[in-house]
Amino acid sequence: MPVGSRTLTGCVVALNADAPDADSVKDIIEVVDREPFLPAGVVKLCEWVAEYYLAGIGDAIAVAMPPGARAHATSFKTRQVATITAHGQALVPALFPALGPALPTTLGSALPPALGSALSPGQGTALTPKQGAALGIVAAAGVGLPVGELRDRGVTRDVLARLAARGLVTLRAEAEDRDPFESAALPARIPDAARELTPEQSAAFEQLAALVEAGGFRTALLHGVTGSGKTEIYVRLARAVQQRGRQVLLMVPEIALTPSVTALFRGAFGDRVAIQHSALSDGERHDQWHRIRRGDVDLVIGTRSAVFAPLTRLGLIVVDEEHDTSYKQEETPRYHGRDVAIVRATHDGALVVLGSATPSMETYQNAASGKYAQATMERRILERPLAAVRIVNMRAEYADQGPDAIISRDLASAIGDRLARRDQVLVLLNRRGYATAVFCRQCGDTFECPNCTISLTVHRARNGWRARCHYCNYSMMVPKACRKCAAPYLERAGFGTEKVEEQLVEAFPDARIARVDRDSIRRKGALASLLGRFAAGELDILVGTQMIAKGHDFPRVTLVGVISADVGLGLADFRAAERTFQLLTQVAGRAGRGERTGEAIVQTLYPEHYSIQLACRQDYRAFFEREIAFRRGMRYPPTVALINTIVRGRTFEEAMQTATEIVRRIEPSTASAGLTVLGPAPAPLVRLRGEHRVQFLVKGTRRIDMRRALEAALAGMPQVRRRVTVDVDPLSVL
């Protein structure tokens, strides 16, 4: 479509039956697709997302599109293929009289003699021996041969071009699917198809399989402790669904973190599997998307955005680790992959299975109230005990070891034991970088980000220390002297994963240690490769952020150390306790998954906090009861619904004024819509990326009324819409 002076590609989502006055509309330049590009079901889902999350339909459609969709006719990866023509074929017997059907396959030894012009009528010059041999190779292949392959066999592009010019071969482009399984370096499947389910697994499977059998929409929670064998149940359910002629979507938090799950499904479904996630190259994602769209697959494994995969016969959606925060998209449209999955299943009449050892408060409440079905597995496979968890009170440790202690003596000695036994160790600290701040000991000056109200994190760099903002990526080298008072007393305070790694290397010089955090895995494939090396026993200790807590199954890990269990508890976020409980339970769940019993050592400044205590006892139910009482008392989700609105401005006053005006417009409807507004107030991160931020919260019980009230207020102020971020069901209000 022409739009202003530009030409844009759009997506038709509806037709307007009343044609507007013909003079006021422009003509479409070209219709790109003959068939609808997105299946109708996906468009419907996008419409729901746009409405529920107060986003534009264009934003919602954009997340459902594969990369390069705007020009998708050209974004297939193509390769040139050479095929012999009838004319070329006619020359072959004369070229290779002695060989008969045994034509050459490489250009080398037996070059035919030059072929006189008499034999290639109308072509003027003779065929050179090379050209003749090349023609023989193409003829021998029978089907089209990729030009790249011909090059490997000694046939240059130039020779091919000459043959093509004579009409002896044709060269044409052919679409080729890029294979993401190859580049993801996924391990091969370990064949164990005949494995018997444990009684607990059987019971859970029977219960869920009955829901598959019943057909139709239903949501079920599969609450199984870490190591209870949930994956095996997913595989069998998926098979049952496939046998009924329907498709399966398996959602995982991050594919690189669960290579074994992907391998397992590849083993079970072979070529009928596609994967969809952001770490694939655009080309790979595009090709996978089109395989799904063509109906070539029965199972899609993917991250958040895979919920929009163009499947048309969906029978089952599994959301593995449903509590994981990566399912929430933190940019427009701010959707929650799990919640969109449930809505999609209502449209498609599918079963949703939400799997977790530590379900989100939302999900567990729905299961407890009977809205969701629930299957529970309380024991680990082969009766392996859950890891024994020991708490180390770091206040006592500081008193004995001094305030700089990072690794407690208990943890250090336990690591030493494991190394001696050649067991493996995971060390978790959910904070990256080397130090959390720099300050001047003389004048107290600190290094804050110039764009954000946040202190810069110090990272070790090749040529010194680099201070970096984890929000906007601003960075600077840490100078030798203070910028304010010139004193040479700059000090680093606090610590992150880089410093823990350094201390481990010092304490255990013979151990093979690697670090996994966002900084160490920048390069594509780095994460998979580190995890692969750890799984293969090439590393003894893996230190890292929450990335090492998720889903892995490393049988040789018998010890998990948690450096500061309370990292998240200091945040003024209503989900802080839930996050802490989940992280600790999950990471403790990484220990003792093999034959030897596991142990977890949890260092904390708040050994009495209920989230730490109950995580150590792995008592989910007790945690839920305690936490839901807190949420009810404070009127926080899931006992109420929440919408967080952030208004940005060039100045604080501008942001505050706009926010105040929006709230003023909502106020008249508070009584009828049964909602309350908290704020406006300065957002916890009052400056971010150079902008000033003010926020207000809308609390209520009827989401639709809350949405309408906010939408109506915003509709009257179109000029500020761009500066307003609306987050429906926010995971965090920071």
The residues that touch ligand ADP, with contacts defined as CB under 6 A, are 195-198, 201, 224, 226-232, 381, 553
Phi (first) and psi of residue 300, to 5 degrees: -115, 130
Choose the stretch contacting Zn ion; rule: CB under 5 A; options: 34-42, 465-473, 506-514, 621-629. 465-473
Whole-number Cα distances in Å, 632 to 418, 628, 635, 656:
44, 6, 5, 30
Phi (first) and psi of residue 694, to 5 degrees: -125, 145
Which of 451, 453, 670, 732 is close enough to bind Zn ion by CB under 5 A?
451
- Number of residues engaging Zn ion in binding (CB under 5 A): 7
Find the shortest distance in angstroms from Cβ 328 to ligand ADP: 21
Q: Which residues pair with 217 in a beta bridge?
A: none
Find the shortest distance in angstroms from Cβ 474 to Zn ion: 5
Pick one of ligand ADP, Zn ion, none as the site partner of residue 226 (Cβ within 5 to 8 A by kind).
ligand ADP
Strand duo 557-562 + 641-649: pairing:
unpaired
Pick one of ligand ADP, Zn ion, none as the site partner of residue 398 (Cβ within 5 to 8 A by kind).
none
Choose the stretch contacting Zn ion; rule: CB under 5 A; options: 74-82, 315-323, 473-481, 497-505. 473-481
Specify burial of residue 479 (Cβ count, 10 A radius: 0-12, 13-18, 19+): middle
Find the shortest distance in angstroms from Cβ 303 to ligand ADP: 17
Q: Whose Cβ is closer to ligand ADP: residue 92's or residue 557's?
A: 557
Evaluate whether 643 touches 727 at the Cβ level (below 8 Å).
yes
Pick one of ligand ADP, Zn ion, none as the site partner of residue 452 (Cβ within 5 to 8 A by kind).
Zn ion
Q: Whose Cβ is closer to ligand ADP: residue 261's or residue 647's?
A: 261
Find the shortest distance in angstroms from Cβ 236 to ligand ADP: 10
User: Is 456 one of the binding residues for Zn ion (CB under 5 A)?
Assistant: no
Q: State the DSSP code for 548.
A: G
Which of 452, 666, 694, 714 is close enough to bind Zn ion by CB under 5 A?
452
User: Is 467 one of the binding residues for Zn ion (CB under 5 A)?
Assistant: no
Judged by DSSP in three states, 287 sits in: helix
Pick one of Zn ion, ligand ADP, none as the site partner of residue 449 (Cβ within 5 to 8 A by kind).
Zn ion
Which of 159, 237, 264, 469 is close enough to bind Zn ion by CB under 5 A?
469
User: Is 222 one of the binding residues for Zn ion (CB under 5 A)?
Assistant: no
Judged by DSSP in three states, 83 sits in: strand
Please state, in angstroms and rounded to a whole number, the distance separating the CA atoms of residues 80 and 146.
Answer: 6
Find the shortest distance in angstroms from Cβ 306 to ligand ADP: 19
Q: Whose Cβ is closer to ligand ADP: residue 75's or residue 198's?
A: 198
Please state, in angstroms and rounded to a whole number, the distance separating the CA atoms of residues 90 and 73.
Answer: 35
Q: Whose Cβ is closer to ligand ADP: residue 320's or residue 566's?
A: 320
Which of 248, 300, 311, 449 is close enough to bind Zn ion by CB under 5 A?
449
Q: Whose Cβ is closer to Zn ion: residue 449's or residue 659's?
A: 449
Provide the terminal-to-terminal Cα distance of the chain, rounded to the nearest Å: 41
Q: Whose Cβ is closer to Zn ion: residue 80's or residue 451's?
A: 451
Find the shortest distance in angstroms from Cβ 532 to ligand ADP: 16
Q: Whose Cβ is closer to ligand ADP: residue 136's or residue 359's?
A: 359
User: Is 472 one of the binding residues for Zn ion (CB under 5 A)?
Assistant: yes
Evaluate whether 320 touches 251 at the Cβ level (below 8 Å).
yes
Rg (CA), the chain: 31
Evaluate whether 549 touches 588 at the Cβ level (below 8 Å).
no
Q: Whose Cβ is closer to Zn ion: residue 281's or residue 453's?
A: 453
User: Is 686 one of the binding residues for Zn ion (CB under 5 A)?
Assistant: no
Pick one of ligand ADP, Zn ion, none as the site partner of residue 228 (Cβ within 5 to 8 A by kind).
ligand ADP
Find the shortest distance in angstroms from Cβ 381 to ligand ADP: 4
Q: Whose Cβ is closer to ligand ADP: residue 232's or residue 287's?
A: 232
Please state, in angstroms and rounded to a whole number, the distance separating the CA atoms of residues 130 and 149.
Answer: 16
- The total number of residues written for the chain in this structure: 734
Find the shortest distance in angstroms from Cβ 630 to ligand ADP: 28
Whole-number Cα distances in Å, 360 to 140, 234, 327, 332, 336:
61, 19, 12, 23, 13
Please state, in angstroms and rounded to a whole number, the distance separating the CA atoms of residues 605 and 405.
Answer: 12
Pick one of Zn ion, ligand ADP, none as the site partner of residue 365 (Cβ within 5 to 8 A by kind).
none
Q: For 557-675, where are the alpha helices, taking DSSP H only? A: 576-588, 610-616, 620-634, 652-666, 670-673
Pick one of ligand ADP, Zn ion, none as the site partner of residue 472 (Cβ within 5 to 8 A by kind).
Zn ion
Evaluate whether 733 touches 699 at the Cβ level (below 8 Å).
no
Find the shortest distance in angstroms from Cβ 467 to Zn ion: 11
Find the shortest distance in angstroms from Cβ 428 to ligand ADP: 17
Pick one of Zn ion, ligand ADP, none as the site partner of residue 474 (Cβ within 5 to 8 A by kind).
Zn ion
Find the shortest distance in angstroms from Cβ 726 to ligand ADP: 35
Q: Whose Cβ is closer to Zn ion: residue 119's or residue 571's?
A: 571
CB atoms within 10 A of CB 267: 16
Which of 181, 474, 508, 652 is close enough to bind Zn ion by CB under 5 A?
474
Find the shortest distance in angstroms from Cβ 535 to ligand ADP: 11
317-330 exposure pattern, b = at least 16 Cβ within 10 A, e = fewer: bbbbbbbbebbbbe
Choose the stretch contacting Zn ion; rule: CB under 5 A; options: 129-137, 472-480, 560-568, 703-711. 472-480
Q: Whose Cβ is closer to Zn ion: residue 2's or residue 450's?
A: 450
Q: State the DSSP code for 128.
A: P
Pick one of ligand ADP, Zn ion, none as the site partner of residue 417 (Cβ within 5 to 8 A by kind).
none
Pick one of Zn ion, ligand ADP, none as the site partner of residue 580 (Cβ within 5 to 8 A by kind).
none
Pick one of Zn ion, ligand ADP, none as the site partner of residue 465 (Cβ within 5 to 8 A by kind).
none
Please state, in angstroms and rounded to a whole number, the distance separating the CA atoms of residues 245 and 182.
Answer: 28
Judged by DSSP in three states, 99 sits in: coil
Give Cα 67 distance to the centre of its chain.
16
Please state, in angstroms and rounded to a whole number, the distance separating the CA atoms of residues 615 and 622.
Answer: 10
Find the shortest distance in angstroms from Cβ 589 to ligand ADP: 7
Pick one of Zn ion, ligand ADP, none as the site partner of residue 229 (Cβ within 5 to 8 A by kind).
ligand ADP
Evaluate whether 53 touches 334 at the Cβ level (below 8 Å).
yes
Find the shortest distance in angstroms from Cβ 198 to ligand ADP: 5
Specify burial of residue 620 (Cβ count, 10 A radius: 0-12, 13-18, 19+): buried
Cβ contacts of 424 within 8 Å, gap of 6 or more: 418, 534, 537, 539, 540, 541, 542, 554, 556, 557, 558, 559
Torsion angle of C-alpha atoms 520, 524, 530, 533, degrees rounded to 10: -160
Instruction: By CB under 5 A, name the binding residues for Zn ion.
Output: 449, 451-452, 469, 471-472, 474
